[in-house]
Chain A
Amino acid sequence: QKEVEQDPGPLSVPEGAIVSLNCTYSNSAFQYFMWYRQYSRKGPELLMYTYSSGNKEDGRFTAQVDKSSKYISLFIRDSQPSDSATYLCAMSAIGGEYGNKLVFGAGTILRVKS
């Protein structure tokens, strides 16, 4: 079983829809949670970062972390064709074998149709 599970999609939605992207994880030591966005043929770019549990909002994007369920989500409101990309969740812990390592999900391909 992978440490971080993420549905690879593809997820196809109409423009203006609310998108929900999710990851589950197995290691309760993870405390830092990130979402990266990767356009085709490009490197990933940081989209959202949260520490521990709770919500964080940035414009049309909201990141949620539920540590009790080991579940993180990224919501995109009023989705646009320019949001079409692969979204990768990533997480890390402090120290131990994870001292300097991020663990990534497989990535979800999102397509927003105009």
Chain B
Amino acid sequence: NAGVTQTPKFRVLKTGQSMTLLCAQDMNHEYMYWYRQDPGMGLRLIHYSVGEGTTAKGEVPDGYNVSRLKKQNFLLGLESAAPSQTSVYFCASSYSTGYRDTGELFFGEGSRLTVL
């Protein structure tokens, strides 16, 4: 039971470099989310998707782009990394609106990104 898988788990970037985080889910969920988690800040929503081919901005979208070309995958891109983007990134998925029905988002194990 893979659930939600994130790659890579760790990455170190230099300022200005670009990278893509990949999230894959095998639960046939419609909704997918990207959060970042910083000390004292909790989880903050970056972008989300309500279905294949759709994306929407969350609370902190600046500096990030996303794509949902396939239902099972949700990609988070950093075009020009900045030290402020040093964080732990979590992908999550839910069957429908998830939290309205059962409160359940299924999270990956996180991707730790350091920008020097």
Contacts and interface: CB of A to CB of B under 8 A. Distances in A.
A42 B37 CA distance: 12
B103 A32 contact: yes
B99 A90 contact: yes
A43 B42 contact: no
Contacts of A102: 43, 45, 99, 105
A85 interface: no
B100 A92 contact: yes
Contact of B107 (A32, A43, A94, A105): A43
A31 B31 CA distance: 20
A106 B56 CA distance: 23
A4 B48 contact: no
**Category for how many chain A residues contact B:** 20 to 34
Interface in A1-53: 4, 6, 8, 32, 34, 41-46, 48-49
Interface in B72-116: 90, 92, 97, 99-100, 102-105, 107-110
B48 A46 contact: no
A46 B99 CA distance: 10
B105 A88 contact: no
A44 B43 contact: yes
B104 to A, nearest CB: 5
A102 B99 CA distance: 8
Given A43-B108, A92-B100, A100-B97, A106 B41 contact: yes
Interface of A: 4, 6, 8, 32, 34, 41-46, 48-49, 88, 90, 92, 94, 100-102, 104-107
20 contacts: A4-B42, A6-B42, A8-B40, A32-B99, A32-B100, A41-B109, A42-B110, A43-B107, A44-B90, A45-B107, A46-B105, A49-B104, A90-B43, A100-B48, A100-B97, A101-B59, A102-B45, A102-B99, A102-B105, A107-B42
Given A100-B56, A101-B58, A104-B42, 5 more contacts: A42-B110, A43-B4, A43-B109, A100-B48, A100-B50
Interface of B: 4, 31, 40-45, 48, 50, 56, 58-59, 90, 92, 97, 99-100, 102-105, 107-110
